[in-house]
Amino acid sequence: MTDVTTVTQSSVDPDVAAGVAQFLSPIVTDLTALSVNGKQAHWHVRGLAFIAVHELIDVVVDHAREWADLAAERVVALGLPVDGRIETVAAQTSTPTIAPGFRQIDETIAALVAQIDAALVPVRTAIDELGELDAASQDVAIEIARGLEKDRWFLAAHVTQ
Shortest CA distance to 119 belongs to which of 24, 23, 39, 27?
27
The answer to whether the beta carbons of residues 78 and 16 sit under 8 Å apart is yes
In the predicted model, what is the mean pLDDT of residues 116-125? 98
The answer to whether the beta carbons of residues 66 and 126 sit under 8 Å apart is no
Q: Is 138 helix (H, G, I), strand (E, B) or coil?
A: helix
* Sign (positive or negative) of CA dihedral 145, 148, 151, 153: negative
Q: What is the pTM of this model?
A: 0.92
Domains contained in the chain, CATH given: 12-156 (1.20.1260.10)
Q: Is 95 helix (H, G, I), strand (E, B) or coil?
A: coil
Task: Measure CA of the first residue to CA of the last residue in the chain; give whole Å.
Answer: 66
Q: What per-residue confidence (pLDDT) applies to 145?
A: 98
In the predicted model, what is the mean pLDDT of residues 120-144? 97
Please state the length of the chain.
Answer: 161
pLDDT in tens, 8-46: 566 778 899 999 999 999 999 999 999 999 999 999 999
